Chains A and B, each alone.
Chain A
């Protein structure tokens, strides 16, 4: 293996000159790997005209090594103009954020008892019940503002959420339910006193803020501050949109949801970093390429990875959503939303924000330089 290594390095320098490499296969093994492609008759025919057309339309050629390719024979990736559509993404993200913030402001979040205090019950009746009758019985028992949810799949299973009840009040309510609606088994009960709940919410918020701070510092150290800040912006975007979806759908926000949000933060930044890493790398070898073209190329180069990782993560969590039971359904849904938004934001939020920022800074520097008188020493 060691002798091979040296040869490889020298070849790296030749990377940009495809023709000179044809005869440079260092070992018989290498040429045998390349040979089956044959003289490459079908290949250029298949991909060349397409490439030519795209290039002609864009009017600028970027990197001859970069080619469009079909994924699953369905999508052609490689030359999608993401950066050119950044205004569209700004509008889409803007709308998503506005709707989310409006919903959060107007109807807020549906906090579970972890954060508000209260009692929750998962009851299994011996017969199917209806939401209205449960509600009627509850108001008869003096429990006014209760949340009642009858399970879609099994209408004899009911989820109840009430304000905090002392144990006598709780027993009285359960007794009334039994008298009016028949026997039931208690699958799950949860009581959180209001004294502890405020603290849980504070701890959750603190955890999210600290996670962001930690990520920002790390990315700033490893990359540059513009990358760190753009990445954080993208993950704030993802968090707000996920919160917005939960607010719109009135899904319960509990401790598990906090875990989901933190996972989304981790996932979103992970996804963004991979794009940024390619950007950083391409920047080092930047020629005459404009920043836009370079950003676009970087996004395209990492696109297949972005899609594939999202698909595998999405497949896994969808299985939990579909087959994992009621308890983890909302949790899985949060993650599903987060994965989609996180993938979108890496490409369509983080990268354009970084680009705009960097361009502004470069323009400022350029403006200074254009009226500079250099002192001769």
Chain B
């Protein structure tokens, strides 16, 4: 990721240059230039992450937004297949192997912590296909006529090994009773009583391999002729865990057609756009100049939230989108609290600059206290939620943090610059109330 990419270097150079320029402006007290620079950086960043290297594309979408199937499987212990940690791990491995063979994009397969449960989420896979994948598979060794010689139950273990000469092979450890059957079969196949001298190894209907029998009466077989130990290990793994080693019962199936997912995605986009536009409009109408600063800070907020979600590898679900949009509505809250404080202080007769300073300071504690309580709720939700609820908790938590950061750090910075650059001198322009209202007690 950190390879020397010229495009990346270019970006780094631009960012560095802007920072240096900013420091120079700051030292020289060229507030207006500093403000212009800050605005340019934010707009440039937004352009970069929307058009040049769209962040949204890196965001994983949940099944409800792109269609697919979600399965929840519960391992139920039986006589032959007790549920153990290794067997569950192995089961996840088998399912992953099968999914990979199908070529599903971005499959999500995980175990539910502290539960004998496996969740499989496959995009653009129908319910039938998904159920097929998690079906218990049978490993069988057959002759050319289709007679079953041994099954997966007879195979104690398949182990890849190296000869002293460095040739890879697989040793098949068979149960005592299976050894006899295997010896008989190899004799039969070797002596030409079968149509072919091969033994066919199947996983359900899929042929895994068809090695040629080299001698009669083999009790303790090996399969040789692999190019590398790695290849031998791959085949040994399939032989070992080809069958899902636990009895899995399907406890939850959810299928969302691709068309519904597409529709949900489109609708979410529209709804999000309208929701954000409404908030932006409200903030402008109510707070004028300062409202526009809050709206401007929303750009940073959006980039932060989406960036954090990408980094956290979070999956965007339908309730998650609702959470994000609600997050925008709540994100301006910190700004509202701060602006109301500033207005209070203006009303009590302070100068614009003094009111902004003291307003920010006294609003700070309120902002932190009120947001920490909401964070507690989202942390609990994350810890105890499952699936889409969990996704929602992540988006809620991330958006609270991001809104605090943007309101407290960024809006404050811009607002100070606007005032110290003398771009705006009237409190009424910034806070949208008639001057009369702001200085009523004077």
Q: Which residues of A contact B (CB under 8 A)?
A: 4-5, 7-8, 11-12, 15, 18, 21-22, 25-27, 29-34, 36-37, 40, 42-44, 46-47, 64-65, 67, 69-70, 72, 122, 185-193, 195-196, 200, 203-204, 206-207, 210-211, 214-215, 218-219, 222, 255-256, 258-259, 262-263, 265-267, 269-271, 273-274, 277-278, 281, 301-302, 304-305, 308-309, 311-320, 322-325, 327-328, 331-332, 335
A186-B257, A320-B271 known; A11 and B350 CB under 8 Å? yes
Chain B interface size, under 10 / 10 to 19 / 20 to 34 / 35 or more:
35 or more
Instruction: Name B's interface SS.
Output: helix
B336 to chain A minimum Cβ distance, whole angstroms, is: 5
> Is B196 interfacial (CB 8 A cutoff)?
no
In the complex with contacts A187-B259, A301-B344, A273-B369 CB distance below 8 A: yes
A188 and B370 in contact, given A30-B353, A315-B278 (Cβ under 8 angstroms): no
Least distance between B420 CB and chain A CB atoms (Å): 8
Instruction: Contact check, A187 vs B440: say whether CB atoms are below 8 A apart.
Output: no
Chain B proximity of A18: nearest CB distance (Å): 5
Contact call B389/A67, Cβ cutoff below 8 A: no
Contact A256 B389 (CB under 8 A): yes
Q: Does B274 contact A (CB under 8 A)?
A: yes
Q: Are B380 and A262 in contact (CB under 8 A)?
A: yes
When C-beta atoms are compared, the residue in chain A nearest to B354 turns out to be A8
Q: B276 at the A/B interface (Cβ < 8 Å)?
A: yes
Contact check: which of A258, A263, A274, A331 meets B396 at CB < 8 Å? A263
Q: Which of A26, A195, A274 has the most CB of B within 10 A?
A: A274
Residue of A nearest to B387 (CB): A255
- A327 vs chain B, min Cβ distance (A): 6
Contact present for A323 and B365 (CB under 8 Å): no
With the chains together, A74 CA to B167 CA distance in Å? 88
Inter-chain contact A196/B436, CB cutoff 8 Å = no
A302 contacts across to B, CB distance below 8 A: 340
Q: Which of B233-266 contact A (CB under 8 A)?
A: 249-257, 259-260, 263-264
As a 0/1 sequence over residues 416 to 429 of chain B, the CB contacts with chain A under 8 angstroms (1 = contact) are: 00000010011110
User: Which of B74, B260, B330, B337 contacts A196, CB < 8 Å?
Assistant: B74
Least Cβ–Cβ distance between B35 and chain A, in angstroms: 16
Task: Select which of B275, B340, B369, B425 is within 8 A of A305 by beta carbon.
Answer: B340
Of A37, A40, A192, A331, most B-chain CB atoms within 10 Å:
A37
List chain B residues, Cβ under 8 A from A5. Answer: 357
Interface centre among B259, B330, B358, B422 (most CB of A within 10 A): B330
In the complex, chain B residues whose CB is within 8 Å of the CB of A323: 267, 270-271, 274
Is the Cβ of A262 less than 8 Å from the Cβ of B357? no
CA distance A320 to B324 in the complex (A): 11
From A65, A263, A315, A335, give the contact of B441 (CB < 8 A): A65
Contacts of B376 in A (CB 8 A): 211, 214-215, 218, 266
Point out the residues of chain B lying under 8 angstroms from A65, CB to CB.
Answer: 347-349, 441
- B351: which of A33, A258, A301 is its contact (CB, 8 Å)? A33
Instruction: In the A-B complex, list the 6 residue pairs whose CB atoms are closest, starting with the nearest.
Output: A30-B351, A316-B329, A319-B275, A43-B436, A266-B377, A313-B329
A281 to chain B, nearest CB (A): 8
B441 touches A18 (CB 8 A): yes
B53 within 8 A of partner (CB):
no
B319 & A33 in contact (Cβ 8 Å cutoff): no
Give the docked Cα–Cα distance between A316 and B322 (Å): 9
Which residues of B349-395 are within 8 A (CB) of A?
A: 349-354, 357-358, 362, 365-366, 369-374, 376-381, 383-389, 392-393
**Chain B residues within 8 Å of A270, by CB:** 330, 333, 370-371, 373-374
**Chain B residues in 8 Å Cβ range of A278:** 366
Q: Are A37 and B435 CB-contacts (below 8 A) given A215-B376, A312-B332, A327-B64?
A: yes
What distance in Å separates the Cβ of B221 from its nearest Cβ neighbour in chain A?
39
CA A266 to CA B379, docked complex, whole Å:
11
Cβ–Cβ contact B250 & A193, under 8 A: yes
- Complex contacts, A21 vs chain B, CB 8 Å: 349
Chain A residues with CB below 8 A from B101, complex form: none
Could you say which of B257, B260, B286, B442 contacts A34, with CB atoms under 8 Å apart?
A: B442
- Residues A277 and B389 in contact, CB atoms below 8 Å apart: no
* Interchain Cβ contacts under 8 Å between A and B, 17 examples: A7-B354, A8-B358, A12-B358, A27-B353, A30-B352, A33-B351, A189-B254, A211-B377, A218-B372, A218-B376, A259-B385, A262-B377, A270-B374, A313-B330, A318-B275, A327-B64, A328-B319
Q: Which of chain A's residues have a CB closer than 8 A to the CB of B330? A: 267, 270, 309, 312-313
Give the residues in chain B near A324, CB-CB below 8 Å: 267-268, 271, 318, 321-322
B325 interface hit (Cβ, 8 Å): yes
How close is A117's CB to chain B, nearest CB, in angstroms?
A: 9
- Chain A residues whose CB sits within 8 angstroms of the CB of B249 once the complex forms: 193
Expressed in whole angstroms, the Cα–Cα distance for A328 and B267 within the complex equals: 10
A193 to B71, CA, bound (A): 11
User: Knowing that A44-B440, A323-B267 are A-B contacts, what are 9 other residue pairs whose CB atoms are under 8 Å apart, sorted by A's residue number?
Assistant: A4-B354, A31-B351, A37-B436, A255-B385, A273-B370, A277-B366, A305-B336, A311-B282, A327-B318
Q: Which of B268, B325, B378, B422 contacts A325 (CB 8 A)?
A: B268
Q: Is B437 an interface residue (CB 8 A)?
A: yes
Q: Which of B253, B350, B374 has the most CB of A within 10 A?
A: B374
A188 contact from B257, B286, B388, Cβ within 8 A:
B257
B433 in the interface (beta carbon within 8 A): yes
Is residue B132 within 8 Å, beta carbon to beta carbon, of the partner chain?
Answer: no
Measured between C-beta atoms, what is the minimum distance from B186 to chain A in Å?
A: 41
Which A residues are in CB contact (< 8 Å) with B344? 301
Q: Which of A15, A255, A319 contacts B325 (CB 8 A)?
A: A319
Is B72 among interface residues, defined by CB-CB distance under 8 A? Answer: yes
Whole-angstrom distance from the CB of B346 to the nearest CB of chain A?
9
Q: Which of B290-307 contact A (CB under 8 A)?
A: none
Q: Give the complex CA separation of A188 and B441 in angstroms.
A: 62
The reply to whether A273 and B358 form a contact with Cβ atoms under 8 Å apart is no
Determine the distance from Cα of A206 to Cα of B389 in the docked complex, in whole angstroms.
Answer: 14
- Give the residues in chain A near B250, CB-CB below 8 Å: 191, 193
